[in-house]
Structure 1
Amino acid sequence: MYNRFLKNDKGFTGLEAAIVLIAFVVVAAVFSYVMLGAGFYTTQKSQEVVHTGVTQASSSLAPSGDVIVLGGLQEDADPDTPAIDGITFYITNTAGGTPVDLDKTIITYADADEFQTQAYDADNAWDYTQVVFEVGSAANLVEKGEKYKIELNLHQTGDVVLEGGAVPATPMTLTTKPVVNEKVKIEVKPPEGAVLILERRMPPSIVAGNYYPVY
C-alpha cells in the first residue's frame, strides 16, 4: 500500500504539464513580440529607404524659358578676345515637387578648361530673384507655381550688369571665360533631389554688351 502511494504521481504530472505549458506560452509570446517588433522596424526602415530614394531620384527643379548670356571681353587672359561675362537662366518647381531652398543650393559651372563650384552667398558668384511668386511666400524657397531667375557672374573684376541688373561683386573666379562656340555645363544641386543640368553652346559671334539666347 505504501509503495503504491509513492508511485502514484498523477497529481504531480498534471501540475508539471501546466507549468511546462505556461512556460511555452510565455516563451512563444516573448518570441512573437520580438519577431513582430523586428518586422515593424524593418518595414519602417524599408519605407524610409523607398521614400528617400524617390526623393533623391526625382528632381524638384526644371528649366523655364531661355538661357541668356551676356557678351563681354576676356579681360585678364586676353582683353581683346570676345567672351561671355554672365549667364542668366530661369527655374521652376516641377509638378508635385517639394520646395527647394536656394540658400542651400550649390551651382557648378564647367567648360572646356574651367570647373567651379559655388554655394549660395549674398555676395557670391551667383544670385537669384523671384519672378513669379505668391505674395508673402519665402523668398528663398522655389515652391509650386513659382519661377526664379538665376544669374551667374563670370566677370573677372567685380560687378557685371546682367539681364535684370547688377549681380554680386565676387565672380566665379574663372581663369578664362567661355568664348564663341564653347560648350558650357551648369549643374544646379538642391539640398535634396536630383541635379538639374543645363548644357548650352555659346553663340558663334559675341559683341560686348549684347545679350544672346543659347541652346
Structure 2
Amino acid sequence: MWNRLIKDEKGFTGLEAAIVLVAFVVVAAVFSYVMLGAGFYTTQKSQEVVHTGVTQASSSIAPSGDIIVKGAADSEANQITFYITNTAGGTAVDLDKTILTYTDDDDFVTKEYVVDSSATPVTKGPIAAIPADWSNTNGWVYQSVIVTNDDNLLEKGEKYKVVIDLDTLVDTTTPTGTLPTVNERFQIELKPPEGAVLTLSRTLPAALTADNYYPVY
C-alpha cells in the first residue's frame, strides 16, 4: 500500500504542467520585450537618420548674382566678392561657424570665420543692431545686405555679401603663396556647420587692370 502511494504521480501532473506553462509564458514575455525594445530602438534610429538627412538637405547656401574680382598690379586679382542667400525652403545657416576654402593653381587655404569683437553695431533700415563690417583679419568677411533681424544667421529672405581679401588670405610673403593671375581658374568652397557645401569655380579674364572690377564665369 505504501509503495503504491509513493509511485503514484497522477496528483502532480497538473502542477507540473502549470509550472511548464508559466515558464513558457515568462520566456515568451521576455523574448517579446527584447524584440519590441529592439524594434523601438531601430525605429528611433531610423527617425534620427531621416531627420538628420532632411536637415542636411534643407540647410544650404546658394549664390545670388555674379562673382566679382578686383584687379591688382601685375595682372593679378586681389579681391573676390559674391553674394549668398538661403535656398528655397532651407533652414537658417550660422555664418559665424562657416569655413571658407580657396584653391587655385598653386594655392590651397582653409580659414574658419573670425568675428571681430571690436566691431561697432550700425543701423540699417528698421534693424538697430546690425553688426558693422567685420575687420578682415582672417582673409574673408561677410557683410549684411538684406536682413530681417540682428543675428548672424542666414535666413529666408536675407542676403549677405562675402568679401575675400586674397592679400590676407593667401600668404604672399612665402615663395609658394601667389595671387591668381589672368586665365587662372580658382575655386571657393563655403562650408556651413550643417548642409551642403557651396562650391564656386570660376576662371579669371584674359586681362586684369589694377583697381578695376570684373565679373567672372
What is the DSSP-based 3-state SS (H/G/I as helix, E as strand, rest coil) of the residue aligned with 1:200?
Answer: strand
Which of 84, 89, 97 aligns to 2:90? It is 97
Matched-pair contact (CA < 8 Å) for 1:59–1:196 = no
Equivalence for 2:170: 172
Equivalence for 1:12: 12
Alpha-carbon displacement from aligned partner over 1:136-170 (angstroms, at most 9, x marks no partner) = 341x2111121111010012xxxxxxxxxxxxxx4
Q: Which amino acid aligns with 2:184?
A: E
Instruction: Return 53-62 or 203-212, whichever deviates more.
Output: 53-62
Count of residue pairs brought into register by the alignment: 192
CA RMSD in angstroms comes to 1.8
Aligned-pair distance for 1:204?
A: 1.8
Equivalence for 2:72: 72
Distance 2:109 2:65 in 1: 24
Alpha-carbon displacement from aligned partner over 1:62-101 (angstroms, at most 9, x marks no partner) = 111111111112xxxxxxx121110001111111212111
Aligned-pair distance for 1:46?
A: 2.2
Matched-pair contact (CA < 8 Å) for 2:146–2:160 = yes
- Length-normalised TM-score, structure 2: 0.81
Matched-pair contact (CA < 8 Å) for 2:109–2:169 = no
Q: In structure 2, list runs of 5 or more residues that go unmatched.
A: 116-136
Distance 1:108 1:183 in 2: 14
Q: Which amino acid aligns with 2:80?
A: I
Equivalence for 1:142: 154
Aligned-pair distance for 1:9?
A: 2.8
Q: Which amino acid aligns with 2:159?
A: K
Moved over 6 A (4+): none
Q: Which amino acid aligns with 2:48?
A: E
Matched-pair contact (CA < 8 Å) for 2:63–2:83 = yes
